[in-house]
């Protein structure tokens, strides 16, 4: 009985007992509007991608141009990896976390640019096969 009374007087016991329950109850209510906005954003972005794909799939020169852009971005991605490795190996500065983060930013940017362009090219080719051409 004494331990029960001691636990009731201890704020850490209240926090560890009821805080997770309150969080579990409130989290869905807090994230529901955020999830709805995220779905709207993703739907809008996909609609824009599809309209761009439908415009591009008719023109052979545009498809070739998009393929060349994807290949150029792949080369930029590979070069940024090589330059980052050289920078990390030859840098006289001690390897800190901030240095690695700064060096990795161009790599991540070029990778995302290349992957998005490559995805566009693949989808244009996929949707081009669906055309009913004479």
Contact 66, 56 (CB under 8 A): yes
Task: Scan for tokens 């998009």, then name that residue.
Answer: 66
Provide the token pair at 130: 């669906």
Q: What is the pLDDT along the chain (134 residues), one digit of tens a residue?
A: 677 777 777 777 677 777 777 778 888 888 888 888 999 999 999 999 999 888 888 888 988 999 999 999 999 999 999 998 888 888 777 677 888 888 889 999 999 999 999 999 999 988 888 776 65
Residue-wise pLDDT for 75-111, tens only, equals 999 999 999 888 888 877 767 788 888 888 999 999 9
Enumerate residues 6+ apart whose C-beta is below 8 A from 131. 57, 58
Q: Which residues contact 39 (CB under 8 A, 6 or more apart)?
A: none
Give residue 117's Cα distance to chain centre: 14
Q: What is the pTM of this model?
A: 0.66
């Amino acid at each position: 009985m004494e331990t029960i009374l001691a636990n009731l007087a201890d704020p850490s016991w209240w926090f560890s007992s009821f805080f997770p329950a309150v969080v579990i109850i409130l989290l869905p209510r807090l994230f529901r509007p955020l999830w709805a906005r995220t779905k709207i954003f993703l739907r809008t972005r996909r609609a824009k991608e599809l309209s761009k794909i439908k415009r591009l799939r008719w023109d052979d020169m545009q498809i070739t141009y998009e393929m060349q852009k994807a290949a150029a971005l792949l080369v930029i991605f590979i070069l940024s990896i090589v330059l980052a490795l050289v920078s990390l190996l030859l840098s006289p500065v001690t390897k800190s976390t901030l240095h690695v983060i700064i060096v990795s930013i161009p790599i991540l940017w070029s990778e995302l640019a290349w992957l998005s362009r490559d995805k566009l090219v693949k989808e244009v080719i996929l949707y081009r096969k669906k055309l009913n051409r004479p």
